[in-house]
């Protein structure tokens, strides 16, 4: 249950597991002071029964971010688990640790998202193909595993739903969650991150890194779209837009993308909200 729960419920599950482990350490694994396995030199049915605890507990602990089995507190169990995992036949028939961890990470996300689905009101996205602003929201919804209904909008003939939902700008994307509309792609991303914090956090946990992420998001909001007016202008106006776009790109290359020398994405090895913010540049400026 340590794996399937969070918060207070998880705290209770951890306490219960520790109590159980204390009993096992004293009374069951306590029998192993003089022998390798419950079966003596070879594993027997008792070893097979407890066998799941070694590799599986370890993987589950890693995915939950909670360590229950402290080797200093449970040395007899840990010693036995190591011997069991290396025992003939068992060793060749254990799932790999990495595969198991990856599997439980996926399961954890499904469990948390599934639970959210039960309680969440319906989510709708008003978008237009191929608006890069719609894509920002689609990426975030998919990364967080949130089920949603996509409602394509005709921007040449705006629907009453769009006009009602975003009466100020009358633009897509609009997210409608439980009947309540939210406009502006980056505001939507922040809303999604606050409403579904457990699955795939989009902003760093560290306050300084979070501030830096917000800085680059604000920079994009202020500079990116105006700079890329190249597509909407011509002549002198376009030359000005090209100059502005180059200036913005130089700043980004040095200060924003320059920070990516040691990591793959702004989010490290996974994309985060900053990556999603700038993702539209790829869509907009890289030809097929
Ligand atoms: N700042 C907005 C920009 C959204 C935007 O420009 N949407 C365009 C489609 S790509 C739109 O709805 N245009 C309709 C119009 O201007 O009437 C955001 O980030 O959501």
The full DSSP string for 71-95 is TTT-HHHHHHHHHHHHSTTTGGGS-
- Element holding 123 (H helix, E strand): strand 123-127
Q: What per-residue confidence (pLDDT) applies to 112? A: 64
Does residue 29 register a pLDDT over 50?
yes
Instruction: Count Cβ atoms below 10 Å from residue 73 Cβ, excluding itself.
Output: 13
Does residue 206 register a pLDDT over 90?
yes
What is the distance in A from the centroid of ligand 1 to the CA of 218? 17
pTM, two decimals, is: 0.62
For ligand 1, what atom is nearest to the CA of residue 173? 20
Residue nearest to atom 19 of ligand 1 (CA): 185
Does residue 108 register a pLDDT over 80?
no
What integer is the mean pLDDT of 233-253? Answer: 91
Given a contact cutoff of 8 angstroms between Cβ atoms, the answer to whether 143 and 201 are in contact is no
What is the set of domains in the chain, with CATH numbers? 7-112 (1.20.1050.10), 120-195 (3.40.30.10), 207-285 (1.20.1050.10)
What integer is the mean pLDDT of 213-220? Answer: 96
The residues that bridge with 268 in the sheet, in sequence order, are 265
For ligand 1, what atom is nearest to the CA of residue 172? 12
**Ligand 1 neighbours by CB, cut-off 6 Å:** 128, 131, 133, 155, 170-173, 184-186
Least confident of 32-36, 54-58, 208-212, 252-256: 54-58
Tokens of 149: 């209904």
Q: Give residue 165's pLDDT band: very low, low, confident or very high (50, 70, 90).
A: very high
Report d(CA 166, CA 104) in Å as an integer: 40
């Amino acid at each position: 249950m340590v794996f399937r729960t969070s918060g207070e419920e998880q705290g209770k599950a951890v306490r219960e597991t520790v109590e159980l482990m204390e009993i096992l350490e004293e009374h069951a694994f306590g029998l192993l002071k003089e022998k390798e396995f419950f079966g003596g030199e070879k594993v027997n049915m008792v070893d097979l029964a407890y066998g799941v605890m070694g590799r599986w507990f370890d993987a589950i602990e890693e995915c939950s971010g909670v360590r229950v089995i402290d080797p200093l507190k449970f040395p007899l169990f840990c010693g036995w688990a190591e011997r069991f995992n290396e025992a003939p036949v068992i060793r060749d028939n254990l799932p790999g640790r990495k595969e198991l961890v990856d599997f439980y990470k996926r399961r954890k996300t499904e469990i948390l998202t599934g639970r959210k689905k039960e309680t969440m009101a319906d989510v709708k996205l008003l978008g237009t193909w191929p608006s890069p602003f719609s894509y920002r929201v689609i990426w975030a919804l998919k990364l967080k595993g949130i089920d949603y209904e996509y409602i394509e909008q005709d921007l040449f003939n705006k629907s009453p739903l769009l006009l009602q939902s975003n009466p100020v700008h009358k633009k897509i994307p609009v997210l409608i969650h439980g009947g309540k509309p939210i406009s502006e792609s980056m505001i939507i991303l922040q809303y999604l991150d606050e409403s579904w914090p457990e699955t795939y956090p989009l902003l760093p946990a560290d306050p300084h890194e979070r501030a830096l992420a917000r800085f680059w998001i604000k920079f994009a909001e202020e500079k990116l779209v105006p700079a890329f007016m190249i597509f909407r202008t011509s002549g002198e106006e376009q030359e000005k837009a090209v100059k502005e776009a180059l200036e913005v790109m130089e700043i980004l290359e040095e200060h924003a993308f320059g920070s990516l020398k040691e990591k793959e994405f702004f989010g490290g090895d996974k994309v985060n909200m900053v990556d999603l913010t700038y993702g539209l540049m790829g869509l907009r400026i890289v030809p097929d």
